[in-house]
Amino acid sequence: MKKIAAFAGSTSSTSINKQLATYAAAQLGNASFDVLDLNDYKVSIFSEDEERENEYPAGAELFNNDLDKYDGFIVSLAEHNGSYAAAFKNLFDWASRKNREVFRNKPVLVMATSPGGRGGAGVLGAATGTFPHMGAKITGSFSLPGFYDNFKEGEIVIEDKKNELKEAVATFEQAL
């Protein structure tokens, strides 16, 4: 059985993107999944000076080792000022120093949600543009705008968005 890692590009304890990633992973039919928490991978702020003086942080090493265990990834990204959350970007910068292909040339379903009407469109654009250069075989993307109106009691309440996500998950699963 294939094994998937689902995670949010956020360190918030109440992350709406973690809720969405978990929900999407639960739609898998023939794969198991783990939900990763970026808080488990502590790293300093990346810089070449930091790397030269202190080498590679244990949190980035652990993250890289964990990524090796999975056959694919479901990632839901928090959008901060139109781009990645700083904690996510920082961890990925560190991870890429040891393995430029952070996503290991494996399938990735990339998603975003936000309280607003754009549903993380800016960060989705950034991810679909850069993740392939980081070893992601993007199988699709999904955006859920208006999270608090459209996700209640642990699920998407708008039928067309629910169906859109099911299709994206099915396409992702076929690529495994």
Q: What is the pLDDT of residue 124?
A: 97
Counting Cβ atoms within 10 Å, is residue 107 exposed (0-12), middle (13-18) or buried (19+)?
buried
Strand partners, 72: 4
pLDDT at 18: 98
Which structural domains are found in the chain, ordered by start? 2-175 (3.40.50.360)
DSSP H or E run through 58: helix 58-67
* CA distances from residue 14 to 11, 17, 37, 72, 127 in whole angstroms, order as listed: 9, 9, 12, 24, 22
**Strand residues in 2-148 grouped as ranges (E):** 2-9, 31-36, 72-77, 79-80, 83-84, 106-113, 136-144
Q: What is the pLDDT along the chain (176 residues), one digit of tens a residue?
A: 999 999 999 999 999 999 999 999 999 999 999 999 999 999 999 999 999 999 999 999 999 999 999 999 999 999 999 999 999 999 999 999 999 999 999 999 999 999 999 999 999 999 999 999 999 999 999 999 999 999 999 999 999 999 999 999 999 999 99
How confident is the model at residue 30, as a pLDDT? 94
Rounded to the nearest 5°, which phi and psi values hold at 171? -65, -45
| pLDDT per position as a tens digit, 68-118 | 999 999 999 999 999 999 999 999 999 999 999 999 999 999 999 999 999
> What pLDDT, on a 0 to 100 scale, did the predictor assign at position 16?
98
What is the pLDDT, as a whole number, of residue 57? 97
Q: Which two tokens stand for residue 153?
A: 């009691």
Beta pairing partners, 6:
35, 74
Residue type, 33: F
pLDDT, one tens digit per residue, over 90-104 is: 999 999 999 999 999
Give me 35's structure tokens.
Answer: 């939900």
Distance, in Å, from the CA atom of 84 to the CA atom of 128, rounded to the nearest integer, reads 12
**5 is written with which tokens?**
């890692």
- Helices 16-26 and 159-175, axial angle in degrees (round to 10): 60
Residue 176 tokens, joined? 């495994």
Residues 40/65, Cβ–Cβ less than 8 Å:
no
